[in-house]
Amino acid sequence: MDEIRENLSKVHQDIISSCNKYGRKESDVCLLCVSKTKPEEKIIKAYNCGERHFGESYAVEASEKIAHLKEQGYTDIIWHFIGPIQKNKTRLIAEHFDMVESLDRAIVATRLNDQRPDNLPPLEVLIQVNISDEDQKSGCDISEIDSLIETVLKCPKLKLRGFMGVGMDTPDFDVIDKEFSKLKSLFDEYSKKLNDFNILSIGMTHDLDIAVKNQTTEVRIGTAIFGAREYKTMTTDNQKIAFIGGGNMSTCIYESIIASGFNPQNITVSGPHVEKLEKFKQKGSVITSDNIEALKNADIVFLGVKPQILTSVLDEIAASGVALNHKLFVSMAAGFKLSSIEKKLNTKKIIRIMPNTPAKLGLGVIAVVYDTEVSDNEKALSEKMLSKMGTCIVGDEDNLNVIGAVAGCGPAFVYRFMEALIAEAVAHGLSADNARKIVEQTVLGSANMSLKNQDCTLASLREAVTSKGGTTYAGLCKMTEGNFEQIMKNTVQASLDRTYEFEKMF
């Protein structure tokens, strides 16, 4: 028995067991084989085992797959679209699918209706309800159901069939049970009001039993049938890397990656002005003005654009139809939280980094935060890519903000201090060149004294320079009188406050 046939047998047995447990018939529960990212050969194997319902999430990839399978004679497959719907992909969905299970906005309903070919039967739709109240999950709010139903009922080329819901990703089955029960109650309420409103799609591999308990009429199963997606082991030799944005920090990271042993020929850099990317081409990398061209074949994608631009770039990526679930995204945008990127790209394979400018010299601090689906191998590889920039400090997003205020903004604060010291040296008769050399060497030497004396506190190093009643003491007293510590406190807090403002914007 081949693997897919054996897996299907196990899945059906699980459905039968749950149905017996709750007094239901197996025929009450339709198995939807989630075939997104799976090759046609695996779909054909499942088809030959008797399966006819298949679910896809990526419009471009799925449309090509559906058309090719129909050309081969597989015309009785019922295709379900189950992923988040981008407005610019509604035509592909309307033209190729039999059912849409993830309808959550009126504008999408209207576009699907307008773009459904006249020679096809009405497109059956399920309204996806966000039953877990998670911001990153798709689905309409319960309060929006009536308005969305009203829109669908006005669309002659759509046929409303029921609700779909995704439970919270948690090991606490009581939480999932409550969520499914909530949607079942809503389903019962609306099925009394609407004709042919008889499909309740809840449940995947891990919560199948709870879904059957709550009277689901469909379960969506992928990995348990087709196996987990096979990811190649990430090494310096086989990684395809994309930079969206080729500015200063992207250049710094690019240089670190090359210095860490990655092949520049495996790197593509995109930007609106391709002539400004020539420096990457000269080192053997591909350059393009098309972000999606850079994205397509990449395993790792560096998002090297400013926070104000990142929203539109994420929208462009999400709307591209390119499968994103296997790609690792690395963002360096200040104030743009993991949850905001997750919501746009529907993935948790994301790393946020915050390098400071001395990273250009290999003397930087790089704050790093990993999302929940970043593997240990990916973490190790990412730290290797950044290693030539300086020291990586791994933490959570709260740490990232603080490190950004201290290390990211800190060089500017240090330069401001140096400017003031140089200005006073010049005011008292030193040449500007000599004043700068003296201050630079003083700061460099002081930093090295700190680095080479880790067993000493900074206070003790300061005290070693200070004689009671001496010249250093007199100067430090003036710093105290000027409330130096409070000035620094206000300075760091202002940077943090601005970061929090950015987070609210994005």
DSSP string, 59-123: HHHHHHHHHHHHHTT--S-EEEE-S---GGGHHHHHHH-SEEEEE--HHHHHHHHHHS-TTSPPE
For position 236, what pLDDT does the model report? 59
Amino acid at 108: V
- Cα–Cα distance between 165 and 313 in angstroms, integer? 28
Rounded Cα gap, residues 258 and 264, in angstroms:
6
Pairing between β-strand 350-355 and β-strand 364-370 as defined by DSSP bridges: antiparallel
- Inform me whether the pLDDT recorded for 47 exceeds 70: yes
In whole angstroms, give the CA distance from residue 144 to residue 129.
9
pLDDT at 334 over 90: no
CA dist., res. 450 & res. 439, Å (int):
17
Q: What is the pLDDT of residues 168-181, one digit of tens each?
A: 878 888 999 999 99
Written as six digits, the tokens of 394 are 């791994």
Asked if 61 and 249 touch (Cβ cutoff 8 Å), the reply is no
At 167, the pLDDT band (50, 70, 90 cuts) reads confident
Percentage of the chain beyond pLDDT 70 is 97
**Largest pairwise CA distance in the chain:** 95
Bridge partners, 364 (sequence order): 390
| In the predicted structure, residue 238 carries a pLDDT above the cut 80 | no
What is the mean predicted confidence (pLDDT) over 413-437? 97
* Complete DSSP assignment for 191-244: HTTSTT--EEE---TTTHHHHHHTT-SEEEE-HHHH----PPPP-TTT--EEEE
- The pLDDT mean for the chain works out to 92
Q: Is residue 405 within 8 Å of residue 492, measured between CB atoms? A: yes
What are the phi and psi torsion angles at 352 (to 5°)?
Answer: -105, 135
Average pLDDT over residues 212-229: 92
Please say if the pLDDT value at position 184 is more than 60: yes
Supply 11's token pair.
């899945």
Mean pLDDT of 433-448: 96
Give residue 336's pLDDT: 87
pLDDT for the residue 230: 53
List pLDDT tens digits, range 124-140: 999 999 988 766 567 99
In the predicted model, is pLDDT for residue 352 greater than 80? yes
d(CA 431, CA 396): 46
Q: Percentage of the chain with pLDDT > 90?
A: 78
pLDDT, tens digit, 9 for 90 and up, residues 390-418: 999 998 888 888 988 899 899 999 999 99
pLDDT at 232 over 60: no
**CA dist 501 → 401, 404, 494 (Å):** 12, 14, 11
Model confidence band, residue 442 (pLDDT cutoffs 50, 70, 90): very high
pLDDT band at residue 37 under the 50/70/90 scheme: confident
Examine the pLDDT at 233 and tell me if it is beyond 80.
no
Report pLDDT for 320: 87
Estimate to the nearest angstrom the gap between the alpha carbon of 63 and the chain centroid: 24
User: 444 near 452, Cβ under 8 Å?
Assistant: no
Bigger pLDDT: 387 or 504? 387
Name residue, tokens 């003790």.
Answer: 460
Average pLDDT over residues 93-99: 97
Query: Residue for token digits 């990153």?
Result: 136
Does residue 1 carry a pLDDT above 70?
Answer: no
Going by C-alpha positions, the residue among 291, 313, 405, 400 that lies closest to residue 351 is 400
Report yes or no: 77 and 339 within 8 Å, Cβ to Cβ: no
- For range 56-67, the mean pLDDT: 89
Q: What is the per-residue burial (b if ≥16 Cβ within 10 Å, else e) of 362-401?
A: eebbbbbbbbeebeeebbebbebbbbbbbebeeeeeeebb
For residue 134, CA distances in Å to 148, 287, 438 come to 20, 38, 56
What average pLDDT does this structure show over 364-374? 93
Find all residues with CB under 8 Å of 439, minimum gap 6, and list them: 418, 421, 422, 425
Residue 109 has pLDDT above 70, yes or no: yes
Q: Which of 290-294, 365-369, 499-503 has the lowest mean pLDDT?
A: 499-503
Whether 79 shows a pLDDT value over 80: the answer reads yes
